[in-house]
Amino acid sequence: MAHQIDKSALVMHSAERMFHLVNDVARYPEFLPWCASTEIHERGGDQITASMEIAKGGIRHTLTTRNQLVMPEAIEMNLVDGPFQNLKGRWHFKSLDDNACKVILTLEFEFSGTLSRMAFGTVFSQAANTMVDAFCRRADELYRGGV
């Protein structure tokens, strides 16, 4: 069974700043409580391939995505490896003015089997549902006062 998550927020930060924040995969463990580690496998031009280890309550899974970068408007994610049959996602940064944008995250996913869904479904859904808020809080911390 396929699942879809759609989240959005209005932020008082530029689309470019939000794009760079979301694209800075190496720093995710600093502010995403369920992100145990990340690894950049390949980075070049308009593409990055990276892994993220998601951990909560003794459950750990790693997922790897290849992200297509459309600066500063979007980051499109496609599954390379992980406990999914299918995973696609898109961050969209819609500029409202020089210092404001709408951040939109859409995730479509289907677990590879019943065991994966049972073991990891709740953890992944909670992580995905809190992701936009976590990035907005991080932006406020980093860019407070227009720094």
DSSP state of 12: S
CA nearest 41: which of 71, 65, 57?
65
Higher pLDDT, 128 or 98: 98
Domain limits for position 25: 3-146
* Residue-level pLDDT at 113: 73
8 Å CB contact between 110 and 1: yes
pTM of the model: 0.90
* pLDDT tens-digit map of 93-127: 999 999 999 999 999 988 887 766 666 667 777 88
* Residue-level pLDDT at 49: 99
**Distance between CA atoms of 10 and 100, rounded to whole angstroms?**
7
Residue 9 has pLDDT above 70, yes or no: yes
Q: How many domains does the chain have?
A: 1
Q: What CATH number has the domain bearing residue 53?
A: 3.30.530.20
Token pair of 62, please?
A: 């790693």
8 Å CB contact between 52 and 25: yes
